[in-house]
């Protein structure tokens, strides 16, 4: 890869890691968009995005957990079946264009809700464990198929259903992304027996952006600012899914 292309890719990863980690996400949708624009092959994009996801999600999960926002009781029912289904999704290679359009529209709708109807940071009753387990299985499969960690789907669901407060949603989503991305990468590697070398130098940019963004999100940014940033993240992710 030429130096200008590598520089653009590195800067794109840095910005995506910063923006996404501030809301407890790891940035897979942003990484995929940048790599797609620069013409990387799909076989390189998916595992690279998952590797970067693991790096940034680890940092974000640590920052939000350290700040006291993580809830194990909320996390584990969603993760229980999400992890094996993310492995399955990572193993499978399917044409997903129509599927991505549908998911993209859902994400854009969620973004509009956060931009124009900011709700107070209130919590109703959390979902029954059976509901969380079933939803987690579906989100895990989506995560593996799309090369993301599933947080882009889980966070808006937690907030729109008022199952968790903003920073708790971010903390749970970060850990959810870490678990699913690891399972998805293992599934992808089991299928391809290959890990792109490009992912490792890009990991440095991901570490810098992820550390800065997650620190601000966990400790400095107010709830309203995080919801606004989440809306931006959803807009990017939804547009990317529809256009690619």
Which segments of the chain does DSSP mark as H helices, in order? 3-21, 28-37, 42-66, 72-91, 97-116, 129-146, 151-160, 166-192, 199-219, 223-243
Closest-CA residue to 139 (of 99, 81, 210, 59): 81
- pLDDT for res 238: 84
Chain length of the chain: 244
| pLDDT tens per residue across span 185-227 | 998 899 888 888 888 889 999 999 999 999 999 998 887 888 8
- Using a 10 angstrom Cβ sphere, with 0-12 exposed, 13-18 middle and 19 or more buried, the burial of residue 115 is middle
Which domain does 55 fall in, by range?
A: 3-243
Over 70: is that where the pLDDT of 1 sits? no
Candidates 173, 148, 142, 180; CA nearest to 45 is 148
The encoded tokens of residue 173 equal: 């989503």
> Which residue bears the tokens 């400095």?
220
pTM of the model: 0.88
Higher-confidence position of 69 and 192:
69
Name the domain count of the chain: 1
pLDDT tens readout for residues 21-51: 999 999 888 888 888 778 888 788 889 999 9
What is the band of 9 on the pLDDT scale with cuts at 50, 70, 90?
Answer: very high
**Distance from C-alpha of 169 to C-alpha of 216, rounded to nearest angstrom:** 15
What Å distances lie between residue 52 and 60, 122, 241, CA to CA?
12, 32, 18
Tokens 């299928």, residue located: 191
Do 171 and 71 form a contact (C-beta atoms < 8 A)?
yes
């Amino acid at each position: 890869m030429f130096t200008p292309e590598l520089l653009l890719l590195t800067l794109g990863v840095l910005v995506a890691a910063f923006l996404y980690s501030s809301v407890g996400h790891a940035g897979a949708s942003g990484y995929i968009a940048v790599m797609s624009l620069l013409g990387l092959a799909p076989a390189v994009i998916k595992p690279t995005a998952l590797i970067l996801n693991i790096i940034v999600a680890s940092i974000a999960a640590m920052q939000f957990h350290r700040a006291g926002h993580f809830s194990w009781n909320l996390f584990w029912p969603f993760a229980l079946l999400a992890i094996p289904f993310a492995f399955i999704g990572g193993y499978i290679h399917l044409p997903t264009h129509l599927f991505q359009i549908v998911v993209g529209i859902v994400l854009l709708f969620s973004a509009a809700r956060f931009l124009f109807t900011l709700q107070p940071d209130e919590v109703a009753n959390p979902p029954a464990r059976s509901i969380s387990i079933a939803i987690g299985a579906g989100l895990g499969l989506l995560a593996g198929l799309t090369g993301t960690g599933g947080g882009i789907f889980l966070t808006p669901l937690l907030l729109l259903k008022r199952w968790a407060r903003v920073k708790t949603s971010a903390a749970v989503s970060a850990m959810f992304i870490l678990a699913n991305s690891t399972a998805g990468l293992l599934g992808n590697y089991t299928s391809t027996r290959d890990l792109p070398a490009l992912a490792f130098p890009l990991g440095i940019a991901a570490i810098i952006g992820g550390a800065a963004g997650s620190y601000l999100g966990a400790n400095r940014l107010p709830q309203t600012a995080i919801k606004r940033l989440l809306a931006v993240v959803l807009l990017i992710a939804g547009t990317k899914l529809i256009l690619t």
